[in-house]
Structure 1
Amino acid sequence: MPMPPPSESYLLDFHARLAGVTSRWFAHAPVEVEGAAAPSSYALLEAVVPRDARPLMVLDLACGDGYLLELLARRKQPGMSLVGLDMSAHELDAARTRLNDAATLIQGRAQSLPFGDGSVDVVLSHLALMLMDDVETVLAELRRVLKPGGRVSIVVGGDLVPGNALEVFAGLMKSAVTVPPMRLGDSRVRSIDGLRELFAEGFADVTVRSLSVQGDGSPSEVWESLLTTYDADRLSPTAQAALQAAFLQAVEPLRRSDGSVPFRWGMRQLTATRAP
């Protein structure tokens, strides 16, 4: 069996150590989108799936610990079958515990989906596409497995939201520490124009919405979340400690009367239809 590329090896190690970390921070983080509010970025994806009784196969691509699949399973919707695919055995173990057989869980890679042509009605993916190598192959696989008229919706990272603790952290990362170089995913997935370019072939009705995801908390709570970002995770313990001290000092001017600091993740949601 071929060795995974360095980026995948790192991601497998990260999710072995921190299985469930994505849903830990984002399952209950409110979202502002186009002047409206949503319970979470997961809820925005769940809402894409039609609510009717016809047979429906839904694939959660890079399903992690299965939180999005759990949201869908709670519907108890007749005719809907749920499938989750992830390359991390540790995340899938967490998903099995969470879902209790409410979904079929498969270990695999998005670049080679183990599904027949035109077999899937909806593909969802939360904070994963921007990490995947060979993204054009991933999209070719999505086009292959989706039925004509089937829908895909993904949440990916977006632009930095100004005036909050994440902006402070990003500045400190640039000026104070050096992260070992590693390319995670395709840079085109991180811009609106790049997303539209990637989804121009084989998809129609492509929409991209900007999201502001709220993670407000005390400076120490916010730091705990930031420590599980890929950049901070790859620092040495000494560098992490220095960054923590600098961050806690730098966010003091942002502290509110209740002790919290504003903390916003910029994300995007792309939704598209498989062209006939």
Structure 2
Amino acid sequence: MTNDPFSQFKAGQREAWALFSPMATFTTPPAATLVEFAAVRESDKVLDVACGTGVVAVTAALRGANTRGLDLSPVLLEDAAANAATVGLSIEFLEGDAEALPYDDGTFDVVLSQFGHMFAPRPELATAEMLRVLRPGGTIAFSTWPPDLMIGSIFSLLGRYLPGPTNAAPPSQWGDPNIVRQRLGDAVKDVQFQYDDMVMPALSPKHYLAHMERTAGPVIKLVQTLKDEPGRLTQFRAEMELLIARFFSHNRVRQTFLMTRATKC
């Protein structure tokens, strides 16, 4: 966006999330859950916002939907295109911003986002844009992280060590059904919520943390920021391991997520 006050913040997101691709192994099953929850049908025009490696877009396309995807990271879009090509799909993937979608009003039957649009710093803009490009009677559906559970708690911990920019909404707010209802407002009807789990294998909380430090944008950024403060970095890692341990059992970390579905009025 022209004169975007969050342009530097988004540039940092673009850089940090470029290493996310290995995580797609674990986000692939929830992608199918979201597509099923959204009741995507053959021939639907579908947009995957903040699509990352395209797991939602490809899943929807394999059901016969006419799918497009958009993401800030050109590196992840290359992987998305490769995922589509593997199964012979032609999907348009564009580099772009959830706060300024490059599509006409009412273009899509279904607008989806899996753990993506929630990182837009101004939820009112992301919400308005996702609804703008959705036709009346179309479906908006997305997956987010509840603030009091695994990933939402990590967001809170990260925020204590590295606060986000002033006036940027915390991504975990999107995991609160009350806030979601407020943000969607009277532009939608028939709002539905459903919880599910994403399970990640790990030998220990320390192994899980090491994986996050290699692949999860906010964690990567924090570790880079604290590289010259070894005491604080050690403290952060210790707190992270204790948090992870609460959700760790039998070499698995349970990450509960919230799905939202609504119909545009």
TM-score, normalising length: structure 2: 0.78
Aligned partners of 1:226, 1:19: CA distance in 2, in Å? 9
Paired position in structure 2 for 1:106 = 94
Encode CA deviations 1:97-141: one digit per residue, 9 max, x unaligned.
221252111111122222222120001101022211222122222
**Which of residues 136, 159, 162 in structure 1 aligns to 2:147?**
159
Encode CA deviations 1:34-54: one digit per residue, 9 max, x unaligned.
xxxxxx32122111454655x
1:135-174 equivalences under 5 Å are: 135-161=123-149, 173=157
Unmatched 5+ residue regions in structure 2? none
- 1:255 Cα offset (Å): 7.7
Encode CA deviations 1:196-235: one digit per residue, 9 max, x unaligned.
1111221010112233332242114322233244553213
CA-based RMSD of the aligned residues comes to: 3.3
Does the 8 Å contact 1:62/1:85 carry over to 2? yes
Aligned partners of 1:147, 1:92: CA distance in 2, in Å? 25
Q: 2:192 aligned with 1:207, yes or no?
A: yes
Query: Which letter maps to 1:43?
Result: A
Paired position in structure 2 for 1:87 = 72
Encode CA deviations 1:227-266: one digit per residue, 9 max, x unaligned.
244553213243545544676689789986x6x2x52223
- Count of residues in Structure 1 that have an aligned counterpart in Structure 2: 249
The alpha-carbon distance between structure 1 residues 179 and 82, as it changes in their structure 2 partners (threshold 3 A), is same
Paired position in structure 2 for 1:224 = 210
Does the 8 Å contact 1:41/1:213 carry over to 2? yes
Paired position in structure 1 for 2:262 = 272
**Which of residues 18, 30, 35 in structure 2 aligns to 1:41?**
30
Q: Percent identity, aligned pairs only? A: 20
Query: Which letter maps to 2:193?
Result: V
Secondary structure in 1 matching 2:102: coil
Aligned partners of 1:59, 1:250: CA distance in 2, in Å? 34
Paired position in structure 1 for 2:47 = 59
Query: Which letter maps to 2:55?
Result: Y
Aligned partners of 1:255, 1:134: CA distance in 2, in Å? 33
Paired position in structure 2 for 1:126 = 114
Paired position in structure 2 for 1:35 = none
Paired position in structure 2 for 1:13 = 15
The alpha-carbon distance between structure 1 residues 99 and 272, as it changes in their structure 2 partners (threshold 3 A), is same
- 1:7 Cα offset (Å): 2.6
Query: Which letter maps to 1:223?
Result: L
Secondary structure in 1 matching 2:186: coil
- 1:170 Cα offset (Å): 8.1
Aligned partners of 2:243, 2:144: CA distance in 1, in Å? 27
1:60-79 equivalences under 5 Å are: 60-75=48-63, 77=64
Encode CA deviations 1:34-80: one digit per residue, 9 max, x unaligned.
xxxxxx32122111454655x421100111111112222333x2xx3
The alpha-carbon distance between structure 1 residues 117 and 104, as it changes in their structure 2 partners (threshold 3 A), is same
Deviates more, 1:125-134 or 1:217-226: 217-226
Aligned partners of 1:253, 1:201: CA distance in 2, in Å? 38
Secondary structure in 2 matching 1:7: helix
Does the 8 Å contact 1:85/1:106 carry over to 2? yes
Deviates more, 1:143-152 or 1:211-220: 211-220
Encode CA deviations 1:136-167: one digit per residue, 9 max, x unaligned.
122222222111110010001113348xx997
Secondary structure in 2 matching 1:47: helix
Secondary structure in 2 matching 1:232: helix
Secondary structure in 2 matching 1:181: coil
More helix by share: 2
Aligned partners of 1:253, 1:274: CA distance in 2, in Å? 38
Name the larger-Rg structure.
Answer: 1
Query: Which letter maps to 2:219?
Result: A
